[in-house]
Amino acid sequence: MGYLINNKVGAILYNLIHTYTLAILVIICGLLLSSQLVLALGLILSSHIGMDRMVGYGLKYPTNFKDTHLKRV
């Protein structure tokens, strides 16, 4: 959705969601709150990030959606 505004905002939002820090915080919250839903969401997010990295999608640069820290997609 951020890419509808511009590349910089899109890259910031994409990178914010696609870092393990957020996934780990969600998992910890799920454990502390004893919430299976929150824990599951954190694990799903972590898996999603791992699969993205496995196929070569990395964190985005603000220059273009296809420019990532791993390679140009």
Q: What is the pTM of this model?
A: 0.80
Tokens of 71: 């390679």
Residues near 32 by beta carbon (within 8 Å), at least 6 away in sequence: none
Q: Angle CA(54)–CA(41)–CA(8) in degrees, nearest 5? A: 60
Under DSSP, the state recorded for 10 is H
**Would you say 47 and 18 are in contact if contact means Cβ atoms under 8 Å apart?**
no
* Whole-number pLDDT of residue 25: 97
* HEC profile of 22-50: HHHHHHHHHHHCCCHHHHHHHHHHHHHHH
Q: pLDDT tens digits, residue range 10-44?
A: 899 999 999 999 999 999 999 999 999 999 999 99
